[in-house]
Structure 1
Amino acid sequence: MPGDSPEPEGMMCLHPRRDDVRDVLVDPGGRRLDDPPAGTRVGTSAPHRIAQLTVSQPHLALIPVRGNADTRLALARTGETVDAVVLAGAGLRRIGREAEATEVLDAHRMMPGLGAGQLAMQTWESDEATRAVLAPLVDADATRAAVAERTLLRALAGHCHAPIAGHAAVGASGEVRLAARVYAPDGSVVLGAERVGGLPEEVGRAAAEDLISQGANEVLAASRRT
């Protein structure tokens, strides 16, 4: 589902309970992220992961990899092009291979991508029969968090390949807390914002405005040219 455009008029987007948002390292040698020596080849694809790893682990050789989770795990297992991979933990769980993760990366250390661990269900507001079928699956907190994240992404004119990371969660009081970052692809620039509020759309817009005031539009424009 495109994250950089609103739903068509009359369509609504609902979300079931969110999975773990954290990324994981899979290293067939059993190493954690701080263990590999200089030059170790770590495969990943998302620009926000590459930027964060460039900053935190500059001694690693980051190798772009594509394909589904099974394909990426196979690349690490054979060792022909990469020695380890970083990918979404939720993706491993969906294929029943979460035990292969050698480290679950803290979300503060490796901020996840917007929408991480989320599934979406779309239907027309007027389709009461379908809405009734989906109702038992809907998680209100996950839906509110998704609205905040998608509002941020649209306000930044971002897309699935933009170097943007962020995570929204609903606290016990019902307020939405959103933390977000924008990166230069090489990690040379890191912009951050955090907002809390009762209305997810307002939280997303406010966080985006904070990032824009720091130069996010210019950073993202430059990333599109690389």
Structure 2
Amino acid sequence: MASTRLPGKPLADVGGRSMIVEVTRRSVAAGIGRVVVATDDEDVRAAVAGAGYEVVMTRSDHASGSDRIFEALGHVDPEGRARRIVNVQGDLPTLDPALIRAAVALLDDPAVDIGTLAAEIVDAGERTNPNVVKVVGTEVAPARLRAFYFTRATAPYGEGPLFHHIGLYAYRRAALERFVALPPSPLESREKLEQLRALEAGMRIDVAVVDTVPLGVDTPEDLERARSLLAREA
């Protein structure tokens, strides 16, 4: 809600729904389990509850979304029944529900601690854009990488594809518990990318390579683009 470039963006109208409700609707459509919105804002809580979805209030001082979902998990599942936890950011109103399923499917491999997503970069300008996070990894199966590093730099060097990281994460519960207990790592602090904390701690992150990057809404221009894309879907 305190976004400097788009204040109040979770409640911005996108196709007749608030953005947070649209993201929630798409998360439910993934069909993988219980969906709960975690927020520290009463207006967001009211909007989500008014649309008939589950919502839980969390503290306002969390440093990251991972910390927030861990608190929410303690509220909604204190018995520890849920073994896989997905963190979906609330500003992805064009998210394809299939992408959520793709991230969760990576955890079918017992060696994987965290699953996430990437798409091959096709826009040359994104290769050098520091706001486009790149994942560097090795292919372990078709359309699947094991991540070695995430960076805002242009990497890896040389000819070949580059991959645009999509910030949606599926955690094993034990991995999430371990992750939030770790202090920020040196590379995390340098790159401003929290997933590096997991890699520096020796956790395994696998990446499903998908065809599309959901639009993250950060500016008024992004919002208008999201409205246009959703209008085409209607």
Do they superpose with TM above 0.5? no
Report TM bin, short chain: under 0.3
* Higher Rg: 1
**TM-score for the superposition, normalised by structure 2:** 0.26
